[in-house]
Amino acid sequence: MNTAAIIVAAGRGTRAGGDLPKQWQFVGSKRVVDWTLAAFKGHPEINQIVLVINPDDVDHVVELKGVLVVNGGETRDQSVKNGLLALEHSSVDSVLIHDVARACVSKDVVDRVLIGLTKAKGAAPAIRVSDALWFSNADFVEGTRTRDGLYRAQTPQGFHYSEILDAHKRSTGPAADDVEIARQAGIDVLIVDGHEDNLKITTPEDFARAEKLLRGHMDIRLGNGYDVHRFGEGDHVILCGVRIDHSRGLQGHSDADVGMHAVTDAIYGALADGDIGQHFPPSDPQWKGAPSDIFLKHAVGLACSRGFQISNIDCTLVCEYPKIGPNSKAMRSRMAEIMSLEVDRVSIKATTSERLGFTGREEGIAAIATATLVKI
């Protein structure tokens, strides 16, 4: 099933306070929209993501990658319709419509909606009402209401794509949510279990609760890598992907890029998945003289496939010569390019060993690296 997620982020969210609409405000280290997008980007069954924004907010999405950005309308209904129309010429079978303010949505909730869509043309998460219900006038209790059969609706609300698109095209009035529009069109909607953590950020107090929940869900991994290569014949070295002229070359089965090897092993270490030698055995002739970016790209891809993003890399080269300082900018740029990171998340620096040991005697170069991985 080809599934798209439409994230509705065109509202103003004035009750949340702050100088910006709530979707662009920060919860911990990320904006609300970034947390929400990450929940769907990391899901293996979501093939495409559409973000519906207010046209005035275009400057807030310039750095978003892998997301189709669509302008919303005057109402939520129109914004959702615009998102659906943006997928009209795609091969989407089903769609999940989600409020951007529900940044704490879990994979389990999304999974339950997707399973529900195998049984019905619509499926949506909700929580059964357990509190007593009152109605009032002028702040005094006027009476009670039965809570039997009542649910608190959540998102994402999922539908067969063609069915909900047709329903939105035929809808003539405002609706509380997409389930109401679906029901007006005769679409049966299956209720699946929601979750209390799937709160909708509405008030300033909700930001603190969301931050606590999202911080608790974070899986942060640290890994370290260490590598050494000796000098031998040659007229250059390759360090962190950059060729540097030198009176000798580094010896190794591949291109002997000691810095890139250390970073690669740091990523494998954070994943608890061995080292370069296990993934690319030196006994295998196909890796003779191979460029080391092959190894690094494999480690990065492995991390991404397990739901991790690389937060930052720190690599220290230990040598007397060649001098690293004049080349560190180029090294950072090349490593960032290979790992699809911003340059400010890649640190390449150097030190000497004060003429002590094999590096001090200029017999070789050592490298130490640390990698930080964050589950998304």
Domains of the chain, by residue range, sit at 3-217, 220-375
Residue by residue, pLDDT tens for the chain (376 residues) are 899 999 999 998 777 788 899 999 999 888 999 999 999 998 999 999 999 999 999 999 988 888 999 999 999 999 999 999 999 999 999 999 999 999 999 999 999 999 999 999 999 999 999 999 999 988 899 999 999 999 999 999 999 999 999 999 999 888 999 999 999 999 999 999 999 999 999 999 999 999 988 877 668 999 999 999 999 999 999 999 999 999 999 998 889 999 999 999 999 999 999 999 999 998 888 888 899 999 999 999 999 999 899 999 999 999 999 999 999 999 999 999 999 999 999 999 999 999 999 999 999 999 999 999 998 7
Match 């399973």 to its residue by tokens: 115
The single-letter code of the amino acid at 335 is: M
| Residue 51 tokens, joined | 């973000």
Return contacts of 299-305, CB within 8 angstroms, 24+ apart.
299/264, 299/267, 299/268, 299/271, 300/267, 300/338, 300/339, 300/340, 302/267, 302/268, 302/271, 302/273, 303/267, 303/270, 303/271, 303/373
Beta bridge partners of 228: 366
The domain made up of 3-217 has a fold known as Spore Coat Polysaccharide Biosynthesis Protein SpsA; Chain A (3.90.550)
- Distance separating alpha carbons of residues 338 and 103, to the nearest angstrom: 30
Q: What is residue 217's predicted lDDT score, i.e. its pLDDT? A: 67
What sections of the chain are H helices per DSSP? 32-41, 76-85, 107-116, 161-170, 178-184, 204-217, 258-270, 276-279, 293-305, 328-339, 357-360
Q: Would you state the CATH architecture of domain 220-375?
A: 2-Layer Sandwich (3.30)
Instruction: Tell me the C-alpha to C-alpha distance, in Å, between residue 88 and each of 40, 48, 54, 120.
Output: 20, 13, 21, 21
274 within 8 A of 335, measured Cβ to Cβ: no
pTM of the model: 0.62
